[in-house]
């Protein structure tokens, strides 16, 4: 690995060429249905199992480090892996190859589903799929709940740690369901509380160590550029996207409360359209955070959708390019782990809170039946997310063509 990226290999001895990175990461961007678990599995199969570009331990370190950072973890992992095999230019090429296919698809579908007068079949499919996204949020939260509880139970003393864990979970859930736009402050606050509780002499040494928080601090100015934009609609879109990409821990459904208040409150979308946007983010390949591009499209057309995508993913590139060399140290950093032990349960609670918001946005009786059916399919029968959303869309189509009521 070349010395400029901190691995000490002579320049010019990259494990892969740019063409290989473009092809392989583009293939994952096209085939990456199913969200972060699918993306991680595909990246592991490529980089560890098939090509041997990374060893298993480094890959696990990268997963842990990306989960400690705000923003979409699987996107950051994809950028990091591309950086490891082809340096900074490879990170840019690989990251874009991973992101752009899904961005193109979601912008195309946004033009179809978020049009002023969409066809009947589009309205029906959107109403059906939108009704099921609350169940997808519940399933996502549940998949994280048990592992997080087990980690908390392993702490000493167990009773105190469990009590704090429950408190963080409830704080995130209540905040997501009630004060969505300010959720990020609650997530950060929970992390700070846990960090403070465990504070000891090692904390004062953290900020001076090369592998500590100071090592990645220089990347933050690079992701603050949306604040320099002028006023107006595009500036508002950029701010929403910036919150999603740089200020949210947990990714996925944690970003729902951050977006909904702006998307619906500012009049860019109706509740029904927002549900459609969330569903589109789930059924398209690539990062789930693409949902913010649908919000940007609803606000300002194609320029808004593209701007939202650029701003939301720029922090991921900045974090990796600025701090990728410290990822292995970040995994074992006690302060970072303590912060995540507080912010992590709060983010899980926020996912359940987002499910409440999504359920409250339903307006037609049959949608609640679809929601209940989706819960059974996802939790009891363990069907895949994409399959469940397509089935819900099919139910919506039947209702629409049968003359049933549809959301306004």
Distance CA 298, CA 241 (A): 13
Evaluate if residue 210 carries a pLDDT over 80.
no
- Bridge partners for 2 per DSSP: 9
Is the torsion defined by CA of 89, 226, 102, 369 positive or negative? positive
Q: Which two tokens stand for residue 399?
A: 């209702």
Per-residue pLDDT at 267 exceeds 90? yes
Of 38-42, 88-92, 165-169, 220-224, least confident by mean pLDDT is 220-224
**What is the share, in percent, of the chain residues with pLDDT greater than 70?**
87
pLDDT-derived band of residue 8, with 50, 70 and 90 as boundaries?
very low
SS (H, E, C) the chain: CEHHHCCCECCCCCCCCHHHHHHHHHHHHHHCCCCHHHHHHHHHHHHHHHCCCCCHHHHHHHHHHHHHCCCCHHHHHHHHHHHHHHHHHHHHHHHHHHHHHHHHHHHHHHHHHCCCCCCHHHHHHHHHHHHHHHHHHHHHHHHHHHHHHHHHHCCCCHHHHHHHHHHHHHHHHHHHHHCHHHHHHHHHHHHHHHHHHCCCHHHHHHCCCCCCHHHHHHHCHHHCHHHHCCCCHHHHHHHHHHHHHHCCCCCHHHHHHHHHHHHHHCCCCCHHHHHHHHHHHHHCCCCHHHHHHHHHHHHHHHHHHHHHHHHHHHHHHHHHHHHHHHHHHHHCCHHHHHHHHHHHHHHHHHHHHHHHHHHHCCCCHHHHHHHHHHHHHHHHCCCCHHHHHHHHHHHHHHHHHCCCCCCC
Q: Please tell me the distance from the alpha carbon of residue 14 to that of residue 4, in angstroms, as a whole number.
A: 12
Tokens representing 349 are 């609670």
> Residue range 385-403: average pLDDT?
94
Confidence band (pLDDT; 50, 70, 90) for 103?
A: very high
pLDDT at 224 > cutoff 60:
no
pLDDT at 328 over 90: no
Q: Of 151, 149, 185, 184, which is closest to residue 169 (Cα–Cα)?
A: 149
What are the backbone dihedrals phi and psi of residue 74, each rounded to the nearest 5 degrees, phi first?
A: -70, -30
Q: What average pLDDT does this structure show over 49-68?
A: 87
**What does the pLDDT read at residue 225?**
42
Q: Label residue 89 by pLDDT band (50, 70, 90).
A: very high
Distance CA 329, CA 167 (A): 29
Q: What is the mean pLDDT of residues 128-149?
A: 89
337 DSSP β-pair partners: none
Residue 287 has pLDDT above 90, yes or no: no
Per-residue pLDDT at 128:
94
Q: Is the preceding peptide bond at 157 cis, omega within 30 degrees of 0? A: yes
Angle at CA 341, nearest 5°, toward 142 and 34? 35
Two tokens, residue 227: 């604040």
Q: What whole-number distance in Å separates Cα of residue 347 and Cα of residue 73?
A: 13
CA distance 181 to 253: 14
Q: Which two tokens stand for residue 169?
A: 């979970």
The answer to whether residues 8 and 1 touch, using CB atoms and an 8 Å cutoff, is yes
The answer to whether the CB of 141 falls within 8 A of the CB of 253 is yes
Q: What is the pLDDT of residue 200?
A: 56
**Which pLDDT value is given to residue 250?**
67
* Confidence band, pLDDT 50/70/90 cuts, at residue 236: very high
Mean pLDDT for 23-37 is 89
Is residue 203 scored above 50 in pLDDT? Answer: no
- pLDDT mean across residues, the chain: 84
pLDDT surpasses 80 at 34? no
Q: Give the model's confidence band at 1: pLDDT under 50 very low, under 70 low, under 90 confident, else very high.
A: very low
Note the pLDDT tens digit of each residue in 140-163: 889 888 888 877 766 655 555 788
Model pLDDT, residue 152:
73
Q: Which of 206-215, 217-226, 381-390 has maximum average pLDDT?
A: 381-390
pLDDT digits (tens, 9 = 90+) for 288-312: 889 999 999 999 999 999 999 999 9
Q: Domain limits of the chain?
A: 14-97, 134-361
- 271's tokens: 């509740």
């Amino acid at each position: 690995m070349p010395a400029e990226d901190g691995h000490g290999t002579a320049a010019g001895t990259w494990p892969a060429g740019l063409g290989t990175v473009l092809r392989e990461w583009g293939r994952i961007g096209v085939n990456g249905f199913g969200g972060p678990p699918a993306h991680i599995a595909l990246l592991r199969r490529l980089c560890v199992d098939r090509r041997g570009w990374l060893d298993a331990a480094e890959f696990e370190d990268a997963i842990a480090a990306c989960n400690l950072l705000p923003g979409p973890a699987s996107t950051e992992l994809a950028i990091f892996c591309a950086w490891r095999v082809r340096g900074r230019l490879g990170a840019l090429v690989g990251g874009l190859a991973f992101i752009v296919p899904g961005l193109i698809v979601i912008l195309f579908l946004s033009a179809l589903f978020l049009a002023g007068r969409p066809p009947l079949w589009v309205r029906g499919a959107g109403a059906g799929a939108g009704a099921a996204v609350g169940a997808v949020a519940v399933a996502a939260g549940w998949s994280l709940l048990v592992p997080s509880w087990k980690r908390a139970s392993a702490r000493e003393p167990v009773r105190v740690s469990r009590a704090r864990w429950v408190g963080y979970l409830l704080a995130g859930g209540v905040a997501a369901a009630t004060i969505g736009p300010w959720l990020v402050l609650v997530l950060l606050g929970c992390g700070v509380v846990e960090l403070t509780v465990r504070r000891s002499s090692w904390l004062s040494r953290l900020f001076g160590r090369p592998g500590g928080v100071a090592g990645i601090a220089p990347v933050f100015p690079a992701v603050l550029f949306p604040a320099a934009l002028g006023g107006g609609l595009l500036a508002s879109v950029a701010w929403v996207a910036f919150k999603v990409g740089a200020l949210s821990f947990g990714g996925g459904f944690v970003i729902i409360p951050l977006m909904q208040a702006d998307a619906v409150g500012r009049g860019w979308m109706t509740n029904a359209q927002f549900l459609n946007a969330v569903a589109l983010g789930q059924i398209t390949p690539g990062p789930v955070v693409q949902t913010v591009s649908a919000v940007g499209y609803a606000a300002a057309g194609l320029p808004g959708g593209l701007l939202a995508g650029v701003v939301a993913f720029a922090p991921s590139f900045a974090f990796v390019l600025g701090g990728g060399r410290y990822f292995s140290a970040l995994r074992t950093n006690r302060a970072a782990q303590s912060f995540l032990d507080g912010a992590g349960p709060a983010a899980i609670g926020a996912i359940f809170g987002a499910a409440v918001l999504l359920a409250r946005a339903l307006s037609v009786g049959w949608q609640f039946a679809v929601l209940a059916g989706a819960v059974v399919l996802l939790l009891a029968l363990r069907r895949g997310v994409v399959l469940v959303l397509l089935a819900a869309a099919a139910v919506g189509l039947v209702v629409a063509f049968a003359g049933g009521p549809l959301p306004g």
